Structure 1
Amino acid sequence: MRPALAFIFVFFALSNYVHGARILGLFPHTGRSHHMVFEPLLQKLAERGHHVTVASFFPLKNPPANYTDVSFEGIAKVGVETFDLNWFENPEFILRIPIIGSIYKQVIDFLPLRDMALNMCSKAIDWPPLKEALSKEYDVVLVENFNSDCMIGMLHVYKIKAPVVSLLSSNLMPWTAERIGATDNPSYVPIITTSFTAQMKFLERMENTFMKLFLSYWYRQAVQMKEQAMIEKHYGIKIPELSHLVKNISLILINTHHAFNGAKPLVPGLVEVGGMHLNSRREVIPEVSDLNNVYCLI
């Protein structure tokens, strides 16, 4: 057999022999609806031969052989809440004031996210199963980008140098774009808390700009700096600011699509993956019997 033919034969014989990557997934948010977006990706990675370790509040009931769950169950209450629609139909007086009411509601909606993040971080930094998982080596890390950067700080503490891929189950948070070098100019890119489109009027642009600047500042002061202080106090070391560490993220996958969310400027490191949580099964949507209360997985 000629050497060239022998090489081709060996190449095709070994083409299916690959080494799966060691993947760590960190999903500290308690909202079930968030994890429903990430779960299909994590399972598919395991099905394709990768070794997947996932830290979350929602361990799989029947995980694949190479899928390891690190459960956060017991650290915090899972985010399944009930919203009374009367709150929207009969709003407080301040909510009826133009612009001021809108700003007030956006701020109020974000405050619980701070409490959830700090409560989770304060317990996760000393959670033995998580510490054990972080002590191993990985080829890539997947981490949710929502209301906390505690896991980014933990990656630095445990000196994990693997590339970090950030995932969002929603549209961009007000503090997300800058960490990947993307543009989210509030004069034409509405933030997630508003109902505006790219065609904003002058007052809408003012409101959008104010909320973008305020929430970005609020997140750094109320969440990032406090999470950093928790980590430093617990481990007795000094770490870089979380607002700097998050800029080491290599890729952000965002659950949006321009057909629904409007066109916006993107960079190669910011990729829309809207609909990645969908499957081929066609299931009947259950009827809502009681419109006074709506169950929402936050």
Structure 2
Amino acid sequence: MVFEPLLLKLAERGHHVTVASFFPQNNPPPNYTDISFEGIAEIGVESFDLNWYENPSFVMRIPIIGRIVKQLSEYDPLAGMALNVCSKAIDWPPLKEALKNQYDVVLVENFNSDCMLGLLHVYEINAPVIALLSCTTMPWTAERIGTTDNPSYVSVASATFISPMTFLERMENTFLLIYHKLWFRYKIQVKEQALIEKHFGRKIVDLDDLARNMSLLLVNTHPTLNGARPLVPGLVEVGGMHLGSTKKVIPEVSTLSIICIYYLRKKS
């Protein structure tokens, strides 16, 4: 987990932390409570079929069109994963018990699902919500916090190009942005809302409205890798948070590095 160091540090500083995830701690701190999702669904890291890339179809080999189709296809599995986890999480006993408590702040992964936001609303947990994103901002994420995602100079997460873009790349980028927003809305968000309302037997606030009510968004990006873009105070880039403290290089290796650099400079 990218944000595991943050959660452990909160517990280390005396906060009572309850974490629901697929990756429970082996030796959690005293005031750190794990709610394990292990077993309710596959986490998607068991296998990966490379044949789709090694033997592309005729359409996939067509310039530009193949690239667009590839990007659209890569998102499809995310919908099934989100709905599968949501349908089981809403009735997961450990999670239901934890949601009966009140919290000072709630941290929620904001990748391909808004199911947990709906559950927070159902259980009347009114604490501020901090969204976590362990990758770059998704096409449906930026506008929630008020950040611009203008396709003329901000490339979508799946794009193979970055700014500055050509006119054709901007057209492709605009199409992908619109498509992905509509895809997330109708393939995931609307269906998750229907799952929650059916399970609890009542209407809830639109998940899109709940998503726009977040107080802060922490994103696992950094300008040196993801490029510079306009941001708002509510979006904070925390790329590298998962990295531990640096270790000192042993003297033998340190000396060798210096000698190699000196040799290369002399040769040049």
Normalised to the residue count of structure 1, the TM-score between the two structures is 0.81
Q: Is structure 2 residue 38 aligned with structure 1 residue 66?
A: no
Q: Is structure 2 residue 245 aligned with structure 1 residue 280?
A: yes
Match for residue 62 of structure 2 among 90, 97, 110: 97
The residue that corresponds to 2:73 in the other structure is: 108
The structure that is strand-richer by fraction is 1
Match for residue 122 of structure 2 among 125, 149, 157: 157
Q: Secondary structure at the match of 1:83?
A: coil
Greater relative contact order (Cα < 8 A, sep 6+): 1
Normalised to the residue count of structure 2, the TM-score between the two structures is 0.90
Q: Secondary structure at the match of 1:178?
A: helix
Report the CA distance between 1:282 and its aligned residue.
5.3
Mapping for residues 23-102 of structure 1, pairs under 5 Å: 36-85=1-50, 87-102=52-67
Identity %: 69
Q: Is structure 2 residue 136 aligned with structure 1 residue 171?
A: yes
Aligned residues: 248
Q: Is structure 2 residue 133 aligned with structure 1 residue 141?
A: no
Q: Is structure 2 residue 231 aligned with structure 1 residue 244?
A: no
The residue that corresponds to 1:206 in the other structure is: 171
CA distance in 1, matches of 2:103, 2:21: 17
Mapping for residues 188-227 of structure 1, pairs under 5 Å: 188-227=153-192
Q: Which runs of 5+ in 1 are unaligned?
A: 1-35, 284-298
CA distance in 2, matches of 1:90, 1:79: 22
CA distance in 2, matches of 1:86, 1:72: 30
Counterpart residue identity of residue 103, structure 1: I
Report the CA distance between 1:107 and its aligned residue.
1.2
Report the CA distance between 1:78 and its aligned residue.
2.6
Report the CA distance between 1:90 and its aligned residue.
3.3
Match for residue 228 of structure 2 among 238, 245, 263: 263
Q: Please give the root-mean-square deviation of Cα atoms over the aligned residues, in Å.
A: 1.4
CA distance in 1, matches of 2:50, 2:121: 43
Q: Secondary structure at the match of 1:188?
A: coil
Report the CA distance between 1:200 and its aligned residue.
0.6
Counterpart residue identity of residue 219, structure 2: I
Report the CA distance between 1:82 and its aligned residue.
3.1
Q: Is structure 2 residue 79 aligned with structure 1 residue 123?
A: no
The residue that corresponds to 1:187 in the other structure is: 152
